[in-house]
């Protein structure tokens, strides 16, 4: 026979697992917009940095004119 404390623990654990399964936690729309905006800003910054490096390197090439 199961001890009452162990039975209570199993019941609480089962309730917790059941609640976690039906819980709809996750990022809200506002969070997704902020995350997307940050990623776009990082990508734009990286693109500008690469463009500047390429432009500087291309302008330093001697074309012999």
Instruction: Give Dmax (Cα) for the chain.
Output: 97
Q: What are phi and psi of 2, to 5 degrees?
A: -80, 135
- Residue 64 in domain: no
Q: Examine residue 27 and state whether it is found in any structural domain, yes or no.
A: yes
Q: Which domain holds residue 44?
A: 4-59
As given in the structure block, the two tokens for residue 16 are 């917790």
3-state SS record for 16-60: HHHHHHHCCCCCCHHHHHHHHHHHHHHHHHHHHHHHHHHHHHHHC
**What digits encode the pLDDT tens for the residues 9-61?**
888 888 887 877 776 667 688 888 999 999 999 999 999 999 999 999 999 98
How many structural domains does the chain have?
1
Check if the beta carbon of residue 35 is closer than 8 Å to that of residue 27: yes
Q: What is the pLDDT of residue 63?
A: 85
């Amino acid at each position: 026979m199961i001890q009452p404390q162990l039975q209570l623990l199993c019941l609480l654990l089962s309730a917790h697992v059941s609640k976690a399964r039906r819980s709809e936690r996750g990022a809200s729309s506002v969070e997704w917009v902020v995350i997307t905006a940050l990623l776009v800003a990082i990508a734009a910054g990286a693109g500008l940095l690469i463009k500047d490096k390429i432009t500087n390197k291309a302008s330093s090439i001697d074309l012999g004119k």
